[in-house]
C-alpha cells in the first residue's frame, strides 16, 4: 500500500479484503502526515484521538458484518475554518488560537457518519481571506509541487495535503475561488458546489451570501463521492437547499457525447501563454470526446473583481464583529474599559489582510457610501448572474482557465493587495452567481507547474460537471 496514492475505492477494497484494518490505516496515515508536514505546513492540528476512535468504529462495523458508509476509513483533512467539537479550530488566526468548539459542523458530522476519519485541521489564509495562503498566523503553506511557491488560497492546506498525499481527500471553503484556485496551483481536483448545496452550519462565516464548503481530491470520482456524502438539506442552515442529492459517483460514466460547451471569450484575454496553451489543449480533448465547442460571452466579467470585493468585505466586516474578546478567543490584556478591550483585542488579534478588509467593508457600508458602493455592487451582481443565465440557455457547461497564471513564488505579490485581488478574476464570477464550478488538472507548464481547467454548469447540475471532468481526466491522462 502506498499511503500517499490511496483513493476512496482503494481504502474500501483494502478494508474489505482485510489488507489492513481502519485503525492500522489511520495510525499509518497519522504517522505519515506528521512526518511529512514540516515540508509544507499543510496541517495546523492533528486529531489523533478522534481519528483513532472513528477508525475503531469502522473496524467494529466490519467485524459485525454491517454495511460501511461511502467514506469508511478514509483519512480526511478539514480546513481550519470548519468547526470540530473539542478539536482546536483557529481559522489560522491569532484571535482564535485557543478556540475549542463546543459543537461539530454539519459537514464534519456527515463525513464521520459516512465513516470518514478526521485526521486533522488544514492551514489556510486567516479567516479564509487570501489567494496565496501567506496570510496564516501560523506560517504560510508551501506548494508540494514546488516548495518555493504558494499553494494558492485560501484553502492552501487542504489542497497541499491531498497532493502531498497526507490526506486522501479534504474539505475546503470557497468564497471567491478559495477551493478552485489552490486546486489548480497544486494540481488536484477542487469543487465548489452550487450555493446552498452543502450546509454551512459550523463554517465560520466570512461572506454569508458567497460562502461554500466543498471537496478536494486526487481524482474526480473521489470528489463526487465526498460531495454526495456531505450535501443536502440541513435544518440548521436555512440557506441549505431542499433538493434531493443525486448519486454523483454513480453517474460519472454517462456519455458526454453531444454536450454543448461554451468558451467565454472574456476569460481568454489576459492569460500567461502556457496557461492558455494548456487550456486549449484540454479543449481539444473535450472535442475528441464528442462535445460541441462554441464561443460565448459573459459581458460583465470585467466588473467582477470590484463587485466581489465590495460585497465580500461588507459582509465580512459585519460577520467578524463577533470577535470581540468576550465569548471566545484571545482577549487583549491591556484594556481598562470595555470599548478599549474590544478595539485592542481586534487590533492585536487580527492580521494585516483581515484588518484591511474589515476597514474596506466598514467604509463601503458607512453613511454616505452605502448606495454608491454596496447597493451598486448588489445591482452589478445581478447583471453578472444574468450573464450566466443567458449562457446556460445555449450551453451545458462553460470551460475556462481557473487562474490567469500558475503558482507564483512565496512573497511575490504579498505587498500589492490589488494585484493579489486581480488574480481571482476567473473564479469570482461563478461564486457571485452561485453556480457549481470546479478545477480539474489540465497538464503542467514546461517548469512542471500545474494548470487547472475550470468547468462551470448551471445551478444544481453538479452531475454534468462531474461527468465532464471525469471523462476529461480519463481521456487526457490527467489524474494527479
Contacts to other proteins from residues 222-261, by CB under 8 A? 235-236, 238-239, 241-243
**d(C-alpha 16, C-alpha 65), whole Å:** 10
Residue 418 makes contact with other proteins by CB under 8 A: yes
State which of positions 161-200 bind other proteins (CB under 8 A): 195-196
**d(C-alpha 286, C-alpha 469), whole Å:** 10
Cis omega (within 30 of 0) for bond into 99: no
Of positions 379, 393, 446, 477, contacts other proteins by CB under 8 A: 379
> Bridge-partner residues for 452, per DSSP?
441
Instruction: Provide, rounded to whole angstroms, the least separation between the CB of residue 307 and other proteins.
Output: 7
Contact 101, 89 (CB under 8 A): yes
**d(C-alpha 305, C-alpha 480), whole Å:** 30
**d(C-alpha 269, C-alpha 251), whole Å:** 34
Residue 461 makes contact with other proteins by CB under 8 A: no
Buried/exposed code over 122-160 (b: 16+ C-beta within 10 A; e: otherwise): bbbbbbbbbbbbbbbbbebbbbbbbeebbbbbbbbbbbb
State which of positions 426-455 bind other proteins (CB under 8 A): 433-434
Instruction: Provide, rounded to whole angstroms, the least separation between the CB of residue 355 and other proteins.
Output: 6
Residue 378 makes contact with other proteins by CB under 8 A: yes
77 closest CA partner among 194, 182, 159: 159
**d(C-alpha 333, C-alpha 33), whole Å:** 36
Contact 384, 307 (CB under 8 A): yes
Instruction: Show which residues are catalytic.
Output: 79, 154, 178
Of positions 4, 293, 330, 475, contacts other proteins by CB under 8 A: 330
Identity of the residue, 385 or 479, whose beta carbon is nearer to other proteins in the bound complex: 385
Instruction: Provide, rounded to whole angstroms, the least separation between the CB of residue 261 and other proteins.
Output: 23
Residue 358 makes contact with other proteins by CB under 8 A: yes
Stretch that binds other proteins, among 94-102, 105-113, 244-252, 461-469 (CB under 8 A): 94-102
Of positions 360, 456, 461, 465, contacts other proteins by CB under 8 A: 360
Of positions 383, 394, 409, 411, contacts other proteins by CB under 8 A: 383
Stretch that binds other proteins, among 56-64, 97-105, 113-121, 267-275 (CB under 8 A): 97-105
> Bridge-partner residues for 217, per DSSP?
169, 189
Identity of the residue, 89 or 166, whose beta carbon is nearer to other proteins in the bound complex: 89
Amino acid at each position: 500500500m502506498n499511503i500517499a496514492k490511496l483513493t476512496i475505492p482503494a481504502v474500501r477494497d483494502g478494508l474489505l479484503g482485510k489488507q489492513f484494518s481502519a485503525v492500522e490505516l489511520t495510525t499509518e496515515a497519522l504517522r505519515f502526515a506528521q512526518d511529512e508536514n514540516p515540508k509544507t505546513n499543510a496541517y495546523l492540528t492533528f486529531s489523533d484521538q478522534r481519528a483513532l476512535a472513528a477508525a475503531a468504529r469502522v473496524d467494529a462495523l466490519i467485524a459485525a458484518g454491517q454495511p460501511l458508509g461511502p467514506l469508511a476509513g478514509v483519512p480526511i483533512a478539514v480546513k481550519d475554518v470548519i468547526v470540530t467539537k473539542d478539536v482546536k479550530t483557529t481559522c489560522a488566526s491569532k484571535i482564535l488560537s485557543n478556540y475549542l468548539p463546543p459543537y461539530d459542523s454539519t459537514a464534519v458530522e456527515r463525513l464521520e457518519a459516512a465513516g470518514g476519519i478526521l485526521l486533522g485541521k488544514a492551514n489556510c489564509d486567516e479567516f479564509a481571506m487570501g489567494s496565496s495562503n501567506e496570510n496564516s498566523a501560523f506560517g504560510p503553506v508551501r506548494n508540494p509541487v514546488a516548495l518555493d511557491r504558494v499553494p494558492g488560497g485560501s484553502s492552501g492546506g487542504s489542497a497541499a495535503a491531498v497532493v502531498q498525499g497526507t490526506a486522501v481527500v479534504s474539505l475546503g471553503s470557497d468564497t471567491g475561488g478559495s477551493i478552485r484556485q489552490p486546486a489548480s496551483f497544486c494540481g488536484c481536483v477542487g469543487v465548489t458546489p452550487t450555493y446552498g448545496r452543502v450546509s454551512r452550519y459550523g463554517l465560520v462565516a466570512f461572506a454569508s451570501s458567497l460562502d461554500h464548503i466543498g471537496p478536494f481530491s486526487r481524482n474526480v470520482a473521489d470528489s463526487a463521492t465526498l460531495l454526495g456524502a456531505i450535501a443536502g438539506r440541513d435544518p440548521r442552515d436555512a440557506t441549505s437547499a431542499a433538493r434531493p442529492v443525486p448519486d454523483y459517483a454513480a453517474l460519472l460514466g454517462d456519455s458526454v457525447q453531444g454536450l454543448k460547451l461554451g468558451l467565454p471569450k472574456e476569460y481568454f484575454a489576459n492569460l500567461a501563454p502556457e496557461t492558455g496553451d494548456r487550456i486549449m489543449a484540454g479543449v481539444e480533448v473535450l472535442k475528441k470526446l464528442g462535445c460541441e465547442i462554441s464561443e460565448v460571452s459573459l459581458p460583465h466579467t470585467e466588473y467582477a473583481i470590484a463587485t466581489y470585493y465590495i460585497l465580500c468585505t461588507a459582509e465580512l466586516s459585519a460577520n467578524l464583529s463577533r470577535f470581540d474578546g468576550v465569548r471566545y478567543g484571545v482577549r487583549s490584556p491591556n484594556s481598562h474599559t470595555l470599548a478599549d478591550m474590544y478595539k485592542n483585542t481586534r487590533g492585536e488579534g487580527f492580521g494585516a489582510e483581515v484588518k484591511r478588509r474589515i476597514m474596506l467593508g466598514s467604509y463601503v457600508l458607512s453613511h454616505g457610501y452605502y448606495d454608491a458602493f454596496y447597493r451598486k455592487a448588489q445591482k452589478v451582481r445581478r447583471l453578472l448572474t444574468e450573464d450566466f443565465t443567458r449562457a446556460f440557455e445555449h450551453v451545458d457547461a462553460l470551460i475556462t482557465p481557473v487562474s490567469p497564471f500558475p503558482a507564483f513564488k512565496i512573497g511575490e505579490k504579498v505587498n500589492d493587495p490589488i494585484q493579489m485581488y486581480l488574480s481571482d478574476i476567473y473564479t469570482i464570477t461563478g461564486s457571485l452567481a452561485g453556480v457549481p464550478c470546479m478545477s480539474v488538472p489540465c497538464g503542467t507548464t514546461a517548469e512542471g507547474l500545474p494548470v487547472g481547467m475550470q468547468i462551470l454548469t448551471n445551478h444544481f447540475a453538479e452531475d454534468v460537471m462531474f461527468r465532464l471532468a471525469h471523462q476529461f481526466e480519463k481521456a487526457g491522462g490527467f489524474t494527479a
